[in-house]
């Protein structure tokens, strides 16, 4: 167990009277928020959370705060932070919440408090259009189809009209459109101060704004990318801050694991090979057969992928035999990369961009060699075969030591970790141990919603366990009557992408066979933002999705009346990092499944369940199609961690629930 100091929500009453009184005047009935915001309701849970944040600010300490849906946790951490002053970094898990904080929540709180603070938004460089790469793409036409050309023309047309150069300022272009890779920069291919467009660079402007602002809104990936840059001795991107606040903090351990580890992918080789061709032909056409060089590098990267076999998959190095063709392909690829570097080095005097490509290639070779030589029991080396590329990963078993070292190396800061899902039955041990937060104060507040009257939890009787081959068909047979009773207006959340495709195809057939005026929306057919916009605009929508829609999605009112979850969200058993972490836990004499997998599943399940009730007037059914929730001993622990819905196993109770709503 963690030695974390646990507090009751009321422990912050040790605040000085003036501060308590001030918070009541802001959050209380008739207070500042109530006077300025027409739909604001004072909530005791929100006031208590604001007191806990203020208490952490007074101590310059660390607080882990769980606040159920509807508590108003965003205002509860923003108001004290803005009143306290100094530099504040607010880090979120998703770009959607990042935009919401910057465009709506922070300006609202600032105006209500009349706080004289400046606010800026900072995203990773891949979110900003690069003038240099835009011009180069317009010149060399490295595009893939008609849609790309249309998107490129839209970017070119508006490049001088947008404020920040942020992809979000072109909402008509999907987040995953291929054109973005062509018109944005990476850390490797950015020319920095040598760029002819340096003065108008959107990334540089965003960074300058971040240095000057009182409050900077970032996301977790950018925060940890900056942590790693500082460890390498590179100038820090984020300003030194007095307060760091992580919203959607339950994502932090996994994201930190990525950045405190190592990743290198064969796709980087293909991108570099294409850049070498473009720069070589432009600046040193006579020096080399650039097309042959590019083809040789690409072929080596593709052969590396072929050596992994036909299927996508993930394997730890310990699982792979020493005579696996993957190792030979990796050695061959490294030989070709070294030979290619030797060929291009004499040409680097011709142009800065060629020198930069050589540096990128040298860095890639070093990354592959570092991964090969990575040893030690504290890191898990594993291989991930994707559809068109291979990613080599080295992931730490724990980030607690690295994160603790980072916190201690900074000047004194207040650290706030906030989320609706951080504990299992008020036990924060898993989260605090993952990040080494032994000094943290913890507190939890339940949602103010009346779950017993607003929602119904339905676990269908008579279903086989998910491991049974008959599960899929049996589950759909139970789902269909519920969807008919709710007239669509549902999320079907799946634990795998394969399930998304299968269930969506089946639902499409059913909707057509019954000639229903429902709109079926499926993850992967458009960007998440676009799918959600379509969902809100449709009359009887049904959305089928996986992890992307389990959290950070807010659909209020009758538009979302049912959330269906196919299985308890346990991590895949073949996950190499999970297997290594479970082994380490069991070597300590603990039960890895109960100590790690069950708590992780609880937190993920609570996120999915949290999509259903988003306001005091929402009503709906949460349907979980996994009978292990009832039949297994650990199911009780999961069951007790869910909101206090009325509960049933009978379909007719669900029908009656919807009949009452009509």
Residues 379-416: pLDDT tens digits? Answer: 999 999 998 899 999 999 999 999 998 888 766 889 99
Same domain? 629 vs 501: yes
pLDDT of residue 12: 45
Flag whether pLDDT at 445 surpasses 50.
Answer: yes
Among 409-418, 429-438, 507-516, 624-633, which is the least confidently predicted range? 409-418
What local confidence, expressed as pLDDT, does residue 15 receive? 79
Q: pTM score, two decimals? A: 0.88
Structural domain total, the chain:
4
> Cα 639 from chain centroid?
25
Q: What angle do CA 23, 29, 30 make, to 5 degrees?
A: 95
Q: What are phi and psi of 73, to 5 degrees?
A: -65, -30
Please enumerate, as own/partner, the contacts of 193-202 that have beta carbons within 8 Å and a separation of 24 or more. 194/352, 195/132, 196/132, 197/130, 197/131, 197/132, 197/135, 200/131, 201/130, 201/131, 202/128, 202/129, 202/130, 202/131, 202/164, 202/165, 202/166
Q: Which of 430, 445, 460 is the last residue in one of the domains?
A: 445
Is pLDDT above 50 for 66? yes
Reply yes or no on whether the pLDDT at 145 is more than 90.
Answer: no
Weakest mean pLDDT among 90-94, 366-370, 372-376, 447-451? 372-376
The CATH number of residue 337's host domain is: 1.20.120
Name the pLDDT band for 292 (thresholds 50, 70, 90).
Answer: very high
Provide the pLDDT for residue 236: 64
362 band by pLDDT with thresholds 50, 70 and 90: very high
Q: How confident is the model at residue 142 (pLDDT cuts 50, 70, 90)?
A: low
Whether the pLDDT of residue 8 is over 70: the answer is: no
pLDDT for res 3: 39
Compute the mean pLDDT over every residue in the chain, rounded to the nearest whole number.
90
Displacement of CA 271 from its chain's centroid (Å) = 25
The pLDDT, as a whole number, for residue 17 is: 65
- For residue 520, name the pLDDT band (cuts at 50, 70, 90): very high
Tell which of 413, 429, 445 closes a domain: 445
Q: What is the pLDDT of residue 11?
A: 45
Q: How many CA atoms lie within 13 A of 619 on its CB side?
A: 13
Q: What is the CATH number of the domain that holds 473?
A: 3.40.50.300
Residues 567 and 537 in one domain: yes
Asked if 285 and 388 sit in the same domain, the reply is: yes
Same domain, 419 and 306: no
pLDDT category at 374 given cuts 50, 70, 90 is confident
Residue 409, pLDDT score? 74
Alpha-carbon separation of residue 293 from 269, 290, 357, 364 (angstroms): 12, 5, 13, 16
pLDDT at 662 over 60: no
Residue of higher predicted confidence among 17 and 222: 222
Clarify whether residues 71 and 219 are in a common domain. yes
Q: Residue 232 above 60 pLDDT?
A: no
Region 283-311: mean pLDDT is: 95
Q: Does position 234 have pLDDT exceeding 70, yes or no?
A: no
Q: How far is CA 249 from CA 246, 419, 487, in A?
A: 5, 5, 35
Tell me which long-range contacts 531-535 makes (C-beta under 8 A, separation of at least 24): 535/559
Q: What is the pLDDT, as a whole number, of residue 529?
A: 79
pLDDT for the residue numbered 2: 39
Please tell me whether residues 324 and 243 are part of one structural domain. no
The domain containing residue 149 runs over which residues?
A: 125-204
For residues 355 and 465, state if they share a domain: no
269 and 378 both lie in a single domain = yes
| pLDDT tens digits along 534-568 | 999 999 999 999 988 888 788 888 899 999 999 99
Same domain, 193 and 178: yes
With bands split at pLDDT 50, 70 and 90, how would you rate the model's confidence at 459? Answer: very high
- Residue from 659, 653, 644, 457 nearest 564 by CA: 457
Nearest to 155 by CA among 126, 128, 120: 128
Residues 90 and 105 both lie in one domain: yes
Q: Which residues pair with 64 in a beta bridge?
A: 417, 442
Predicted local distance difference test score (pLDDT) of residue 422: 93
Domain boundary among 396, 417, 433: 396
Mean pLDDT of 450-457: 94
pLDDT at 18: 75
Asked if residue 237 has pLDDT above 70, the reply is no
Per-residue pLDDT band at 594 (split at 50, 70, 90): very high
User: What is d(CA 375, CA 373) in angstroms, rounded to the nearest whole number?
Assistant: 6
Q: Are residues 522 and 457 in the same domain?
A: yes
Indicate the pLDDT class of residue 485, thresholds 50, 70 and 90.
very high
pLDDT attached to residue 50: 96
Q: What percent of the chain has pLDDT over 90?
A: 67
608 and 633 fall within a common domain: yes
Inter-residue contact 655 to 478 (CB < 8 Å): no
pLDDT number for residue 13 = 52
Share of the chain above pLDDT 70, in %: 95
- Give me the residue label for tokens 């998703």: 94
502-519 pLDDT per residue, tens: 999 999 999 999 999 999
Using pLDDT thresholds of 50, 70 and 90, give the confidence band for residue 352. confident
Average the pLDDT over each of 173-187, 299-313, 357-371, 484-498 and give the range with the smallest value.
Answer: 173-187
C-alpha span between 314 and 153 (Å, rounded): 39
């Amino acid at each position: 167990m963690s030695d974390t100091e646990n507090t009751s929500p009321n422990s912050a009453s040790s605040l000085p009277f003036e501060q308590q009184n001030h918070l009541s005047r802001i959050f209380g009935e008739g207070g500042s928020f109530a006077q300025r915001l027409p739909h604001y309701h004072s909530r005791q849970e929100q006031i208590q959370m604001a007191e806990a944040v203020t208490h952490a600010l007074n101590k310059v300490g660390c607080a882990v705060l769980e606040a159920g849906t509807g508590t108003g946790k965003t205002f509860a951490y923003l108001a004290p932070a803005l009143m306290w002053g100094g530099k504040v970094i607010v880090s979120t898990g998703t770009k959607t919440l990042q935009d919401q904080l910057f465009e709506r929540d922070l300006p609202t709180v600032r105006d209500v408090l009349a706080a004289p603070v400046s606010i800026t938004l900072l995203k990773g460089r891949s979110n900003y259009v690069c003038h240099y790469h835009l011009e180069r793409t317009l010149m060399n036409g490295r595009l893939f189809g008609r849609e790309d050309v249309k998107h490129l023309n839209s970017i070119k047309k508006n490049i001088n009209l947008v404020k920040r150069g942020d992809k979000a300022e072109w909402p008509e272009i999907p987040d995953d459109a291929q054109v973005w890779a062509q018109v944005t920069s990476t850390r490797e291919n950015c020319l920095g101060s040598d760029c002819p467009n340096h003065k108008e660079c959107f990334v540089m402007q965003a960074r300058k704004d971040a240095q000057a602002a009182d409050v900077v809104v970032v996301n977790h990936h950018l925060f940890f990318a900056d942590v790693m840059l500082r460890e390498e001795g590179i100038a820090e991107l984020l300003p030194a801050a007095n307060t760091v606040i992580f919203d959607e903090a339950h994502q932090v351990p996994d994201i930190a694991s990525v950045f405190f580890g190592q990743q290198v992918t064969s796709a980087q080789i293909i991108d570099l090979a294409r850049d070498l061709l473009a720069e070589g032909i432009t600046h040193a056409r006579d020096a080399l057969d650039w097309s042959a060089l590019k083809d040789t590098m690409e072929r080596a990267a593709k052969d590396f992928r072929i050596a992994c076999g036909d299927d996508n998959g993930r394997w730890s190095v310990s699982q792979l035999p020493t005579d696996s063709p993957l190792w030979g392909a990796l050695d061959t690829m490294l030989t070709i990369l070294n030979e290619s570097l030797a060929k291009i080095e004499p040409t680097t005097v011709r142009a800065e961009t060629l020198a930069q490509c050589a540096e990128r290639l040298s860095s890639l070779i070093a990354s592959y060699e570092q991964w090969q030589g990575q040893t030690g029991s504290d890191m898990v080396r594993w291989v991930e075969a994707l559809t068109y590329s291979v990613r080599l990963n080295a992931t730490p078993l724990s980030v607690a030591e690295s994160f603790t070292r980072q916190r201690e190396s900074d000047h004194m800061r207040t650290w706030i970790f906030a989320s609706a899902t951080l504990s299992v039955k008020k036990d924060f041990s898993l989260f605090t141990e993952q990040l080494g937060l032994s000094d943290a104060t913890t507190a939890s507040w339940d949602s103010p919603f009346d779950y017993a009257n607003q929602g119904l939890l339905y676990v269908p009787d008579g279903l086989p366990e998910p491991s049974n081959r008959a599960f899929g068909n049996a589950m759909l047979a139970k789902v269909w009557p519920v969807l008919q009773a709710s007239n669509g207006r549902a999320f079907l959340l799946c634990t795998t992408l394969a399930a998304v495709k299968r269930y969506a195809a089946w639902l499409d057939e059913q909707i057509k066979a019954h000639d229903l005026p429902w709109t079926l929306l499926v993850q992967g057919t458009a960007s998440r933002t676009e799918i959600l916009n379509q969902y809100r605009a449709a009359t009887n929508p049904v959305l089928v999705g996986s992890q992307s829609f389990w959290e950070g999605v807010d659909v209020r009112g009758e538009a979302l009346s049912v959330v269906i979850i196919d299985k308890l969200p346990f991590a895949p058993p073949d996950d190499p990092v999970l297997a290594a972490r479970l082994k380490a836990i069991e070597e300590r004499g603990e039960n890895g499944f109960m100590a790690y997998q069950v708590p992780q599943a609880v937190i993920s399940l609570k996120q999915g369940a949290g999509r259903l009730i988003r306001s005091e007037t929402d009503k709906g059914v949460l349907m979980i199609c996994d009978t292990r929730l009832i039949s297994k001993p650990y199911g009780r622990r999961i069951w007790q961690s869910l909101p206090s819905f009325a509960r049933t196993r009978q379909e007719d109770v669900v029908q009656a629930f919807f009949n009452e709503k009509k």
